[in-house]
Chains A and B, each alone.
Chain A
Amino acid sequence: MNIHEYQAKELLTKFGADNPRGSVARTAVEAEKAARDLGTDSIVVKAQIHAGGRGKGAFTNGFQGGVHLCKTVSQARDIADKMIGQTLVTHQTGPEGRLVNQVLVAESVEIEKEFYFAILMDRATGAPVIVASREGGMDIEEVAARSPEKILREAVDPAFGLQSYQTRKLAKELGFAPGQMRAAGRLFAALYRCFISSDCSMVEINPLVLTKGGEVLALDAKFSFDDNALFRHPDIVALRDIGEEDPREVAASKHHLSYIGLDGNIGCMVNGAGLAMATMDIIKHHGGDPANFLDVGGGASEEQVTEAFKILLSDAKVKAILVNIFGGIMRCDVIAQGILNAVKSVKLGIPLVVRLEGTNVEQGRKLLADSGLPIVTATDLDTAASEIVKLAKS
């Protein structure tokens, strides 16, 4: 789940992590008020969409750039007026772009120095680790590849949390002057509290800045939340913006199906995440292109299978469908019945290859064979994959 920049700022503020003053505006009038409240002639107005590359993006109405610096309150209002309700296209949105429903109006700070600061869960040690660098504002992967000695890593003991000496050590090694160390340490500690309390898998601040005025601020924040923990964070779930998500993925999540849209034309329905990935791989191996990852899970019901199949059929890009099920707990006859139910309400106009194996496989295959539908059945994965690739191309 992703959140907007203004929501990330609100979350930072809630945990006492200093960041530039600002607020969200949903109309030009609100933007004007937000700009006036800042009381400064150094204002930035930023279109709020989840995709990156906003600054270099363009609106479909011809207005250039999703991030603008303003000197006056009325200028901020005019810019907001040109953005809100318009569609912004960036290199990450695809040509269809994203509708801008709100803008962030914030103080534009004068930067003395930029840093990189992130907290993430280190799988190898099973504990949080802080990754920081003096080279902020840039792609951290590049820094790591070019000069790994510039990357600091500080492991945190999960039982005790981030200690004060660790924040001092980080501040010192990042090169903060003695007078700024307290502010830096306070920000690091606040970010750690935010990471733990919000069940994040990552909080990335790039850049974290020292301003010319000597403040230490989180200038941009990227959050990744642990989906498994969302049940205990209704406040974070409320930040979800469905308009920013792939409609196919939204439909799937309603039925507790694990779905990820891709660019190919072969729809896949598989049980189990590993097998679903492996099925995508074997399609590619035979020269085809999967349209999605779809895991119906270990114990999906007939209804879930029906809904999953409908999602595949509703995707105009899908030219053929491969169903690959290894029924363990899930019975093959349940899968077969789910498919037949879906085809009853949505016409099957494209080729379908089904590979069933495991529990009640004979009943499952019989149901499909007796249906009279043009379904190709395959007994092994390799044949199923080569068959579907052939059919998708014809």
Chain B
Amino acid sequence: MSVLVDKNTRLVVQGITGKSGAFHTRNCMEYGTNVVAGVTPARGGEKFDDKVPVFDTVHEARRETGCNATMIFVPPEFAADAILEAADAGVELIVCITEGIPVMDMMRVKKLLQSSPSRLIGPNCPGIITPGQCKIGIMPGYIHQPGHIGVVSRSGTLTYEAVWQLTSRGVGQSTCIGIGGDPIIGTTTLDAVQLFAGDPGTHGIILIGEIGGSAEEEAAAWLKEHCDKPVAGFIAGATAPPGRRMGHAGAIISGGKGTAAAKKEALREAGIAVAETPSTIADTLLAVMK
């Protein structure tokens, strides 16, 4: 079992003919993801790698191929428009990898998506993977292994670190969701843990957060009331100075809020095991699963 993506996922790639779009589409296909279509305006009618039909619009791709998920690689100036196009075409799951989308654009996207049944993951995220079944995103496939741990994270490489620790110990993952490091994102930490809590195939959860915002606190409060599954958490940025953006637009301590110490405290309060260092994330979960 898994959440959101599996063998039945039919993927369209927006920006499939771009450099990174093409590169990562190939990686996803090699992993076994069923890529049914690509979209690049004015390139309709072409075939990507002689296999995948390219369309001018997402509507057309949806109609012709029945795609139910999209992976977006279009440049930041046009990414908000690409998300809205996918939602308007009725694509159920929208995974936006693009980094550097203006916050005002995401503000409008978030508002419009409130009245849409589509779910957005990202932007500025590594994507989502159900090991052995479907990979949508830029994460290296080989570090994953099918299993029963759900992983949710705001950071890409830090997720790889945690996943690799699990896999090295012979522990597989149900689904790993990289929700992204921007201030305004689609699927939140809370949304992701709710999905994992309701998935019978997920037996334990790893929650990786970082400074800024209050997403981890909200997820912790919900987990305390509604979830009996073992959860381990890690928060990056204990040593980050206030007022500075630490790479991610969302990773900033402002007005004394969003510190690592406060987040760790909220996790502990909710009965979540907190890893003190990034090298002990998997072991912290495994210790509470025994």
Chain A positions near chain B (C-beta within 8 angstroms): 121, 123-124, 126-128, 140-141, 157-159, 196, 199, 201-202, 226-229, 231-232, 258, 260, 262, 270-285, 290, 293, 295, 298-299, 326-329, 357-359, 380-382, 385
Interface centre among A274, A279, A381 (most CB of B within 10 A): A274
Q: Which residue of A lies closest to B184 (CB)?
A: A126
In the complex, B230 has a CB within 8 A of chain A: no
A294 nearest CB neighbor, chain B only: B247
Closest to B157 in A: A272
Whether B236 and A226, one on each chain, are in contact in the complex, defined by CB atoms closer than 8 angstroms, is no
Contact B157 A326 (CB under 8 A): yes
B277 CB within 8 Å of chain A: yes
Which residues of B have CB within 8 Å of A283?
Answer: 239
Q: Is the CB of B161 within 8 A of A326?
A: yes
17 contacts between A and B (CB under 8 A): A121-B183, A124-B214, A141-B256, A227-B249, A271-B157, A272-B158, A273-B210, A274-B159, A275-B156, A277-B239, A278-B236, A278-B277, A293-B244, A326-B164, A328-B143, A380-B279, A381-B277
- How far is the CB of B73 from the nearest CB of chain A, in Å? 12
Residue tally, chain B, CB below 8 Å to A:
63
**From A271, A278, A290, contact of B234 by CB (8 A):** A278
Within 8 A of A (CB), among B251-270: 251, 254-256, 260
Residues A159 and B239 in contact in the complex (CB < 8 Å), given A278-B158, A282-B279:
no
Interface flag for B44 (CB, 8 Å): no
Q: Which of B77, B101, B245, B250 has the most chain A CB within a 10 Å cutoff?
A: B245
B112 to chain A, nearest CB (A): 8
Residues of B bordering A, CB below 8 Å? 20, 24, 76-77, 100-108, 110-111, 126, 138-140, 143, 153-161, 164, 181, 183-184, 208, 210-214, 234, 236-241, 244-251, 254-256, 260, 276-280
**What is the interface of chain A mostly: helix, strand, loop, or mixed?**
mixed
User: A121: which B residues are within 8 A, CB to CB?
Assistant: 103, 107, 183-184
Bound form: Cα–Cα A201–B102 in Å: 10
Interface centre among B100, B126, B236 (most CB of A within 10 A): B236
Contact check, B156 vs A381: say whether CB atoms are below 8 A apart. no
Residue of B nearest to A229 (CB): B102
The winner among A121, A275, A283, A357 for most chain B CB atoms within 10 A is A275
> Who on chain B is nearest to A293 by CB?
B246
Contact B153 A123 (CB under 8 A): no
Residues of A within 8 A of B159 (CB): 274
Please state if B237 and A277 are interface contacts (CB–CB under 8 Å).
yes
Given contacts A278-B234, A281-B278, A329-B140, contact A295 B77 (CB under 8 A): no
B160, A328: Cβ atoms closer than 8 Å: yes
Across the two chains, which residue of chain A brings its CB closest to B103?
A226
Q: Is A272 a contact partner of B103 (Cβ separation < 8 A)?
A: no
The reply to whether B184 and A274 form a contact with Cβ atoms under 8 Å apart is no
Say whether A281 contacts B237, CB under 8 Å.
yes
The docked-state distance in angstroms from the alpha carbon of A284 to that of B155 is 20
The interface residues of chain B lying within 8 Å CB-to-CB of A298 are 138, 156-157
A329 with B138: CB separation less than 8 A: yes
> Closest approach, in angstroms, between the C-beta of B3 and any C-beta of chain A?
21
Please report the C-alpha to C-alpha distance between residue A226 and residue B126 in the assembled complex, in whole angstroms.
22
Please, which residues of chain B bring their CB within 8 A of the CB of A262?
Answer: 239, 241
Q: How far is the CA of A199 from the CA of B240 in the complex (A)?
A: 25
In the bound complex, residues from chain A placing their C-beta under 8 Å from that of B183 are 121, 123, 201
Which of B213, B248, B279, B280 is in CB contact (< 8 Å) with A274? B248
Q: How far is the CA of A284 from the CA of B238 in the complex (A)?
A: 9
What residue of chain A has the Cβ atom nearest to residue B112's Cβ?
A159
Tell me how far the C-beta of B24 lies from the nearest C-beta in chain A, rounded to whole angstroms. 8
* Residue contact B101 to A274, C-beta cutoff 8 Å: no
- Given known contacts A277-B237, A328-B156, A381 and B279 CB-to-CB distance under 8 angstroms: yes
Q: Is the CB of A358 within 8 A of B107?
A: no
In the complex, residue of chain A having the shortest beta-carbon distance to the beta carbon of B244? A260
Minimum C-beta distance from A324 to chain B (A): 9
Whether the Cβ atoms of A226 and B102 lie closer than 8 Å is yes
